[in-house]
């Protein structure tokens, strides 16, 4: 379980997160939605240790992590995929995946098995294992970034807008992949999205941020089925 309590993060005089409290239960997909500048990226950065809170706390699997170093947090099994990053374009697909295993707590013997699992899940990466990542399409790069994260055997995956800039078919594929990762391995996923429709289609829980504050925190299917909640979601995005 990821537990965030009363978390406030400032960038100088800008308050990016304002007393945020939320829970991402073990094995759930929680999506964090909100307009530009709502604080979504900052929330992920605070969990992975890249942004330091002014106050509040973050705990994962019983460990307090908000004052720990980035590498220690990664070592607890938290993988962070920042938006549009996570792949080294000069390296081949196989080299990128091998890099992902470097922070795995598993001994090297387990890495071949992990690699086979990633290739099994993403056949296109297996076909293109010797190609440099620069030659992949946007959707394939995103799959490689997710595959690389999986090589570190994360217990919690933080994904920042994996659908950004992708064609609708690629977005649908990424969402199906996330659902499968979650169903196959019970990994906990915290997914930041602008694309509310696709995120809602796979999420168990929805948190909506507006100007750094939590304005909705609900079960995803209940929210999608309730016109008043959907109205509140639109309001949080568009302000009317
Ligand atoms: P977007 O979808 O546009 O990335 P977001 O919901 O992810 O938005 P954040 O990037 O977390 O929002 O930004 C939250 C607030 O903090 C915004 O007002 C933003 O301008 C500000 N902010 C973010 N990063 C910095 C920074 N490095 N320095 C100063 N202000 C920042």
Residue to mutate, 42, 191, 208, ligand 1, most ligand atoms under 8 Å from C-beta: 42
CA-wise closest residue to 83 among 187, 166, 151, 170: 166
Distance CA 157, CA 76 (A): 12
**Tens of pLDDT along the chain (240 residues)?**
899 999 999 999 999 999 999 999 888 999 999 988 899 999 999 999 999 999 999 999 999 999 999 999 998 999 999 887 778 999 999 999 988 877 665 555 567 888 888 998 889 999 999 999 999 988 899 899 999 988 888 999 999 998 888 888 888 888 888 888 888 878 899 999 888 888 888 999 999 999 999 999 999 888 888 888 888 777 777 655
Ligand 1 pocket, Cβ-based, cut-off 6 angstroms: 11, 14, 16, 34, 36-42
C-alpha of residue 42 to centroid of ligand 1, in Å: 7
Rounded Cα gap, residues 175 and 172, in angstroms: 5
Nearest CA to ligand 1 atom 3: 36
Q: Is the pTM of this model over 0.85?
A: yes
pLDDT at residue number 30: 95
Structure token digits, residue 51: 């942004």
* ∠ Cα 39 43 46 (to 5°): 130
What are φ and ψ of residue 112, in 5° steps?
-60, -45
Q: How far is the CA of 61 from the centre of ligand 1 (A)?
A: 27
Atom number in ligand 1 closest to CA 194: 2
How many Cα neighbours within 13 Å face the side chain of 159? 33
Q: At 69, give phi and psi (nearest 5°).
A: -75, 155
The residue with tokens 């000069």 is 90
Ligand 1: residue whose CA is nearest its atom 17: 37
The order of strands in the sheet holding 213-219 is 78-81, 156-160, 188-193, 29-33, 205-210, 213-219
Gyration radius of the chain over CA positions: 18
What pLDDT score does 106 carry?
55
Q: How far apart are CA 100 and CA 147, in angstroms?
A: 8
């Amino acid at each position: 379980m990821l537990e965030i309590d009363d978390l406030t993060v400032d960038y100088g005089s800008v308050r990016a997160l304002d007393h945020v409290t939320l829970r991402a239960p073990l094995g759930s997909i929680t999506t964090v939605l909100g307009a530009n500048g709502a604080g979504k990226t900052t929330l992920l950065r605070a969990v992975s240790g890249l942004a330091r809170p002014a106050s509040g706390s973050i705990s994962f699997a019983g460990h307090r992590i908000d004052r720990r170093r980035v590498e220690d947090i990664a070592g607890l099994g938290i993988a962070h995929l920042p938006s549009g990053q996570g792949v080294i374009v000069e390296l081949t697909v196989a080299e990128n995946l091998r890099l992902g295993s470097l922070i795995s707590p598993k001994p090297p013997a387990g890495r071949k098995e992990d690699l086979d699992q990633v290739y099994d899940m993403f056949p296109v990466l297996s076909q293109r294992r010797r190609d440099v990542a620069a030659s992949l399409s946007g959707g394939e790069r995103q799959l490689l970034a997710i595959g690389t994260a999986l090589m570190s055997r994360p217990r919690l995956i933080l994904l920042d807008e994996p659908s950004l800039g992708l064609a609708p078919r690629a977005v649908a594929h990424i969402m199906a992949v996330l659902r499968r990762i979650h169903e196959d391995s019970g990994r906990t996923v915290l997914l930041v999205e602008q694309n509310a429709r696709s995120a809602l289609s796979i999420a168990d829980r929805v948190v909506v941020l507006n100007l750094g504050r939590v304005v909705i925190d609900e079960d995803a299917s209940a929210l999608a089925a309730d016109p008043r909640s959907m109205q509140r979601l639109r309001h949080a995005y568009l302000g009317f």
